[in-house]
Amino acid sequence: MNSIYKSCTNNKHYECHNHICDHCKCNPCKCDYDKRKSCIQHPTLTETILACGTGTGANIPIPTNNGTFSPITLASVSIDTSCLKKPTVKIDFDSIINYSASMTVADDAAISNPFTVTFQLSKTCNDGSKIGLGNWYYSTAFLLPAVNTTDSFSFTHCECSSCSGCCIYTIEIVQASASVLTNVTDLVENAQIVSSSISALASSC
pLDDT of amino acid 59: 97
Is residue 71 within 8 Å of residue 173, measured between CB atoms? yes
- Across the range 43-48, mean pLDDT stands at 70
pLDDT-derived band at 126 (thresholds 50, 70, 90) equals confident
Mean pLDDT of all residues in the chain? 82
Q: Report CA dihedral (129, 71, 169, 22) to the nearest 10 degrees.
A: -10
pLDDT of amino acid 15: 40
Is residue 89 within 8 Å of residue 167, measured between CB atoms? yes
Which domains can be identified in the chain, with CATH numbers? 1-42 (no CATH), 43-204 (2.60.120)
pLDDT of amino acid 66: 65
pLDDT at 136 exceeding the cut of 90: yes
pLDDT of amino acid 128: 86
Alpha-carbon distance values, 49 to 45, 86, 88, 104, 124 (Å):
12, 13, 10, 52, 18
Task: Identify the weakest region by mean pLDDT among 13-27, 78-92, 104-118, 165-179.
Answer: 13-27
Name the residue with higher pLDDT: 77 or 29.
Answer: 77
Estimate the share of the chain in helix, then strand, then coil, as percent rounded to the nearest 5.
10, 60, 30
pLDDT of amino acid 78: 94
pLDDT at 68 exceeding the cut of 90: no
pLDDT at 139 exceeding the cut of 90: yes
pLDDT-derived band at 18 (thresholds 50, 70, 90) equals very low
pLDDT at 21 exceeding the cut of 80: no
Give pLDDT tens digits for 23-42.
555 554 444 444 334 444 55
Residues of the chain with pLDDT > 90: what percent? 61
pLDDT-derived band at 133 (thresholds 50, 70, 90) equals very high
Measured distance CA(67)–CA(177) in Å, rounded = 9
Alpha-carbon distance values, 146 to 88, 102, 104, 114, 150 (Å):
45, 4, 9, 16, 14
